[in-house]
Amino acid sequence: NGGKPDNKKTLETINKELSSSTEYMNSKHPKEKDEYTLYWIRWPMCIFFTSSIVASGLGMVGFTAISNNLTGIYGVSSMTTTMLVLPFIFLFIPCIFPAIFLIEKYGIVIPVYIASISLLVGAWIRILVNENFYFVIAGQVIMAMGQPFMLSAPAKLAALWFGDNERAIATTLGSLASPIGGILGFLLPLIFIGDNDNLPNDDCKHKFWMYTLVQNIVITVLGLPIILLIRNTPPTPPSASAEKASKAKKTGFIKPIAKLVKNRDYLFLMLSFSFIYSIYTTLGSCVGAISKEFGYASSANSLFGSVYIIGGLVGSFAHAILLDKYSKYKLQYIIIGVLC
């Protein structure tokens, strides 16, 4: 060959190497598939997680639209009817920290049990409203104590049970659940209580009792199944990232919070979200008292609350699409701030 390389032999060698590499990859692929199995129960758990949060949202604002009726039926003040929503606001901060701690240390099962039992017990205590109106407030307080334990869990469920390309969907379902529950809570009272049902007589009290009963049944149907299905972790991780996260060294509870407090960008976002969320909760708490001053009835309150929440859902989808397409985070942050 006069020192020239044997091209035929070189090609044969390359083909053999490629063939052996392909066989190796094919032999490894089934193993990897078996290792990262996606279990069918993840979707029922996600659906019932979502329905449970819908139930919690319904319980939170389910009496807001008819707060003016309640002042007439039971002879309570506007401040007292406002207390039907305020516990969910006041108790969120002290309850969210133990909720996160339990989720990180013991998994999602215990927090979900706490949330579901609080939701169901609090809801059914309210059925005693005709004995004393303050049973309704007591029930709202119990439900409010459990809500943070449920709201903290969807992201963890998505990380532990879903593949990389499914987590966004699973997390989105959880984030949309509470607004959907809010819409249901504003609209459902219209079926049972009219604008003129505001007198302290047995007929009006019975109508409100019937509405409370139906609301409790809906809450039970939506909130009970997750107790039966919830699991901490799948037998095997659903993805490489989930496996890596499960093996990662725990950093504790205090250290991440300390890092967040020192993060300027995070603090700006937190404050902005706090102001925006305060507007939402103020409307949810006081829409009846505010609209009454302008001569609006309970049916108008349902419209005000529903339109506000639906507008928020439409806006969230629109901004998510724009962020995904243009990635102009700062610009959209400024636009959202100006609009709010």
Write the single-letter amino acid at 311: G
pLDDT of residue 288: 78
- In sequence order, what are the residues at sequence separation of 6 or more whose Cβ sits closer than 8 angstroms to the Cβ of residue 48? 225, 226, 229
Q: Is residue 83 part of a domain?
A: yes
Q: Is residue 178 part of a domain?
A: yes
Q: Is residue 81 part of a domain?
A: yes
pLDDT of residue 17: 52
How many domains would you assign to the chain?
Answer: 1
Q: Is residue 210 part of a domain?
A: yes
Q: Is 75 left (phi over 0), alpha (psi -120 to 50) or beta?
A: left
Q: What is the DSSP string of 11-41?
A: HHHHHHHHHHHHHHHHHHHHHHHHHSPPPTT
| Domain boundaries, position 263 | 42-233+253-339
CATH number for the domain that contains residue 288: 1.20.1250.20
pLDDT of residue 68: 87
Do 79 and 289 meet the contact criterion of CB atoms below 8 Å apart? no
Averaged pLDDT score across all residues of the chain: 83
7: confidence class by pLDDT, cuts 50, 70, 90: low
pLDDT of residue 328: 83
Q: Is the pLDDT score of 200 beyond 90?
A: no
Q: What percent of the chain shows pLDDT beyond 70?
A: 86
Coil, helix or strand for 250?
coil
What distance in Å separates the CA atoms of residue 192 and residue 260, rounded to the nearest whole number? 47
pLDDT of residue 337: 77
Do 323 and 329 meet the contact criterion of CB atoms below 8 Å apart? yes
Q: Is residue 20 part of a domain?
A: no
38: confidence class by pLDDT, cuts 50, 70, 90: confident
Q: Is residue 245 part of a domain?
A: no
Q: Is the pLDDT score of 145 beyond 90?
A: yes
Q: Is residue 95 part of a domain?
A: yes
Q: Is residue 1 part of a domain?
A: no
pLDDT of residue 16: 56
Residue 244: count of CB within 10 angstroms of its CB: 10
Residue 67: count of CB within 10 angstroms of its CB: 25
Q: Is the pLDDT score of 193 beyond 70?
A: yes
